[in-house]
Structure 1
Amino acid sequence: MHLWADSNSGFQGDELLHIETGNNLAFGYMEFPPLIGVLAFIQNLFQSEAVMVHHIFPHIAAILIIILVSKITVELGGKTKAVLLVLTCIIIAPAFGRSQQLFQPVVFSQLFWVLNFFLLLKYIKYLDKKYLWYLTLTTALAFLTKYDAVFFVFGVSALLFFRFTRLALFRDKFWWNIFVFILLISPNLIWQVLNDFPVLKMFDRLYETQLVKQAPIEVVQGLFMALNPLTLFITIPAIISMFHNSTKAYKPLKVSVLLSVIFLAFSQGKSYYFYPIVLTILPFGGVFWVHTILPKRKWLIYPTGIILLTGVFLIPFGMPIFPLKSYLKYDYPFENREVVKDGQFNVRFDERYSKEKWAVTLKELKNVYDSLPNREKNNTIIWGKHYAQAGAVNLFNERYDLPEAFSLHGSFYNWVPKGEMPETTIGLGYNVGDFFKGYFEEVIKVKTIYNPYSETEEEQHQHIYICKNPKQTFNELKTLFNDRVFE
């Protein structure tokens, strides 16, 4: 399904930023840790602009998630029926369909979360020192993938609450594991220090603009719909099993999940922040069904399986398995959405329409660039106000024979050229008003590009400007934007 969805997808905006990190390897980035840059670097070796090529690692991660969740279910005592119930819940959940398709840290965070949970389970079950060392290494990789690994680390502290795991930790001299973990993540921590902790500025901006505005009930509702309401047949038993007939061996495991949930809830995380935790809870539901419900009512497996399978009708809401035109026909009878002013077909999730959006945008940029005198064309650069705009230009610039683009938004801030700005800059922005006039003596709006599929009114129109005679150098421009990187 993911491969099929690739054929109907363009690139989601954040993916264009992540792809560009592969051309700018570093020990850290403004919004996320460095591992995504290493993966992007490998994908970029193919020198391809194809969606499927840049989704190689997400697809591998999705396969490994399926395998690891299955192995967790088996380790907890489940067999074929339990595994099938759990995996069906994953397949029918729009949440996992979309998040595991895109080239973002999210899918790799899910992978390392379930891998770490599997190793934690193995350590609790067998108290074998090697699993503690495996867990140390994979948790460090998780931290270098996405900072939400701190929620998992907080949950692991549950091992200290129980005598048998606490004794095992002291026997295995766990402080060396802590030392090695800190050592492994230290390059990124040092990068953050040297760059004045940009990730904290990003989180401040995120809380200011998004997280503080969301009510807990909205998070729960969003999670409920994203996971598919039908999965409640498994998630509710999973939650019940966390507090019902808990064996001594698995109590630390369950408390670790509970601690992670509590920490994440108090941090006002978005609904998708909980996806990795859900992947670790579902196996408990599958095992509970097999061991507690089915022995007394074996016939329930058939109606339950059929009900879960009807959830496939929600899959198109998570993955673009339909072409855009077909999706519009499928989507509108079922989804009650607010219509964007003057919009025609506003569509959630820009990967559904960005293939068409960027093709139109880059053709218009090409027309504007070709209209410049030859002496200017050789010394022209494109300024994308949003990092997705700069990322799209840099990914497709060879096809359209365009110059490189820069941006002062997000991690692109660190990749701005040095020295004097060229006499002519082509500006590309959404509804930015007089933004470019503050940095050039002459600014002329030459094109407006309409996007009928935009989910928000702010991104319904893109504007192209010809900007001449810059008022500052690149270095001075960076100074002006030092506190505006995430605006």
Structure 2
Amino acid sequence: MRPWGAVGAVLVVQAAVLTALSGRHGFHRDELYFVAAGKRPDWGYVDQPPITPILARISTGLFGETPSGLRIVAILLAMGTVVVAALIAREFGGGELFTAIATALSAYPLVVSHMLSTSTVDLFVWVVILLFAVKLLKSGDGRWWIPLGVAIAAGIANKWLVLLLVAALGVSVLIAGPRKVLATWWLAAGAGVCLLLSAPVLIWQWQHDFPLLTVAAGISADDGAENRVLFVPMQLIYLSPVLVPVWIAGLVRLWRSEEFRAVALAYPVLCVLTLITGGKPYYSVAMLVALVAAGAQPTLDWLRNHRRAVPFAAVAALIGVVISVVVSLPVLPLKALGPVLAMNKEQGEEIGWPELTASVSQVWQQIPPEQRATAVIFTRNYGQAGAIEEFGAAQGLPKPYSGHMSYADWGPPPDSMTGPVVLVGGVDNSSLLTGCRVVLAHDNGRGIDNDEQGTRISLCAGTTAPWNKIWPDLRRFY
């Protein structure tokens, strides 16, 4: 079988496995938020541009508002990531099949393949940018700046993290060359295309005082120290420890190549930028995928010359694949998830949302029927609000409200809603509500210790002022 026929077989297996597992757990909290945001189309949201919510709207519209229906677009993006990674390997001289298999079975790509998130889109867009950058550096043809501009604009329309990658590549080309790719009017043309396509997203952010920057600053302040401590260890884990020698071999290979030295340098530059900004360790994963593509052929050559090492490499690869699959995909029974959640909490965040809605319904039923027309459900975070919005109607619940992220922009309750308040998870300023008492602590009934397990649900008599007046004090950016 020729390399691309074998890559096609990898894609078929990848699609089959991801599809079979896509409905095993429920919606992730972020997916509930994306579904809600997709029903309120806009050029931007507090914590992200519009691409992922748009994809959520399209996927659920075509395939149904279920986890499986939503995740079809995530599976397609995952397959696209594998194809582009193999194309990068081809530009480096071979190893397409090795790269495809390694990408499809690596831990982080598997995590973001199972659910729709901004990271799912980012991983695909970033490897596309890297493919175009490699083509530009290899050919010296300035026309590649146009597709690069389009791809960067797509990244800006999904998450502004792409600017870290662009900065890393730009700095690396300036330092390591070939600088001739910068001395062309095609660069200005590509930048113009990027700005034109990004204009609606940038204008929306400007009109709303750039909330993305506020959210990013909050994340850095809250998690920056932890992110920096974990950064180096996670570089060894995000794909697989088994692949570390492969991407190191790719890094060395590219550094020794004059035409691709900038790609090698871009990885440490990106790492430094991420550490400075307190960003998440996973921001570098797309670069690691490209480095695996560069190291694929040298690894295969080494194995051919050291045949005695092949059985050991095969065993190590098998162990790595098993660990990646178990940690990343919902293949274990719920009662066995405890150790997995210590490494990948996202599986736990897909469990218990209908049960949380049922807990809210229990509290709602304690409101006298004659008061329910003016009563409000208010949640602390968008996951809780998204769950009630998704599952609440079947339990007789009204639409929820929240001050978290873009839910705050979707408006407060009318000031005529002067009745009791079902408070899910509490508020930062308790003086805004009166007569609150905790009715129950939510239990998902599955034995899963996720972020919502134990969430307190209170019943309050009302607010201390009209909703419109207290709404600014209820907004939360993170």
1:466 alignment partner, SS class: strand
Match for residue 195 of structure 1 among 196, 208, 231 = 208
Residue identity (%): 20
Structure 2 CA distance for partners of 1:46 and 1:448, relative to 1, 3 Å: farther
Match for residue 349 of structure 1 among 310, 328, 345 = 345
1:253 maps to 263
1:269 maps to 279
2:330 maps to 320
1:28 pairs with 2:19: no
1:280 pairs with 2:290: yes
1:471 pairs with 2:464: yes
Q: 1:237, 1:289 within 8 Å by CA — same for their partners in 2?
A: yes
2:6 maps to none
1:367 pairs with 2:377: no
**CA separation in 2, counterparts of 1:98 and 1:21?**
22
TM value normalised by structure 1: 0.85
1:152 maps to 165
1:10 pairs with 2:26: yes
After TM superposition, give the deviation of residue 435 of structure 1 in Å.
5.5
**CA separation in 2, counterparts of 1:307 and 1:71?**
26
Structure 2 CA distance for partners of 1:173 and 1:238, relative to 1, 3 Å: closer
2:110 alignment partner, SS class: helix
2:453 maps to 460
After TM superposition, give the deviation of residue 421 of structure 1 in Å.
4.8
**CA separation in 1, counterparts of 2:347 and 2:416?**
33
After TM superposition, give the deviation of residue 16 of structure 1 in Å.
1.9
Q: How big is each residue's C-alpha offset from its partner over 1:275-334, in whole Å with a ceiling of 9 and x where there is no partner?
A: 12211111011022245x246435545542342122222021111122313x34xx65xx
Structure 2 CA distance for partners of 1:181 and 1:350, relative to 1, 3 Å: closer
1:182 pairs with 2:182: no
Structure 2 CA distance for partners of 1:421 and 1:321, relative to 1, 3 Å: farther
Count, aligned residues: 458
1:464 alignment partner, SS class: strand
Q: 2:361, 2:395 within 8 Å by CA — same for their partners in 1?
A: yes
Q: 1:426, 1:464 within 8 Å by CA — same for their partners in 2?
A: no
Matched letter for residue 242 of structure 1: L
After TM superposition, give the deviation of residue 406 of structure 1 in Å.
1.1
Q: Work out which structure has the larger RCO, using CA pairs closer than 8 Å and 6 or more positions apart in sequence.
A: 1
Q: 1:8, 1:322 within 8 Å by CA — same for their partners in 2?
A: no
2:314 maps to 305
Within-5 A mapping of 1:316-465: 316-325=326-335, 327-328=336-337, 332=339, 349-352=345-348, 354-355=350-351, 357-417=352-412, 419-430=414-425, 432=426, 437-451=430-444, 452-455=447-450, 459-465=452-458
2:14 maps to none
After TM superposition, give the deviation of residue 117 of structure 1 in Å.
0.9
**CA separation in 2, counterparts of 1:295 and 1:475?**
70
Matched letter for residue 118 of structure 2: P
Matched letter for residue 471 of structure 1: T
2:477 maps to 486
Q: 2:415, 2:467 within 8 Å by CA — same for their partners in 1?
A: yes
Q: CA RMSD in A?
A: 2.7
Structure 2 stretches of 5 or more lacking a match? Answer: 1-16
**CA separation in 2, counterparts of 1:168 and 1:206?**
36
Q: 1:17, 1:387 within 8 Å by CA — same for their partners in 2?
A: yes
Q: 1:4, 1:321 within 8 Å by CA — same for their partners in 2?
A: no
After TM superposition, give the deviation of residue 129 of structure 1 in Å.
4.1
1:445 alignment partner, SS class: strand
**CA separation in 2, counterparts of 1:392 and 1:336?**
21
**CA separation in 1, counterparts of 2:243 and 2:439?**
51
Q: 2:250, 2:294 within 8 Å by CA — same for their partners in 1?
A: yes
Structure 2 CA distance for partners of 1:425 and 1:316, relative to 1, 3 Å: farther
1:227 maps to 239
**CA separation in 2, counterparts of 1:383 and 1:455?**
20
1:427 alignment partner, SS class: strand
**CA separation in 1, counterparts of 2:406 and 2:180?**
44
Structure 2 CA distance for partners of 1:225 and 1:125, relative to 1, 3 Å: closer
Matched letter for residue 403 of structure 2: L
1:289 maps to 299
Q: How big is each residue's C-alpha offset from its partner over 1:190-235, in whole Å with a ceiling of 9 and x where there is no partner?
A: 222221221222122112211134444x221133233222222312
After TM superposition, give the deviation of residue 414 of structure 1 in Å.
0.7
Structure 1 stretches of 5 or more lacking a match? Answer: 338-346
Structure 2 CA distance for partners of 1:364 and 1:213, relative to 1, 3 Å: closer
Structure 2 CA distance for partners of 1:204 and 1:161, relative to 1, 3 Å: closer
2:458 alignment partner, SS class: strand
Structure 2 CA distance for partners of 1:77 and 1:301, relative to 1, 3 Å: farther
Q: How big is each residue's C-alpha offset from its partner over 1:427-457, in whole Å with a ceiling of 9 and x where there is no partner?
A: 3433x4x86752233323323223442246x
1:52 maps to 68
After TM superposition, give the deviation of residue 46 of structure 1 in Å.
4.8
Structure 2 CA distance for partners of 1:220 and 1:180, relative to 1, 3 Å: same
Q: 2:354, 2:391 within 8 Å by CA — same for their partners in 1?
A: no
**CA separation in 2, counterparts of 1:425 and 1:66?**
52
Q: 2:29, 2:349 within 8 Å by CA — same for their partners in 1?
A: no
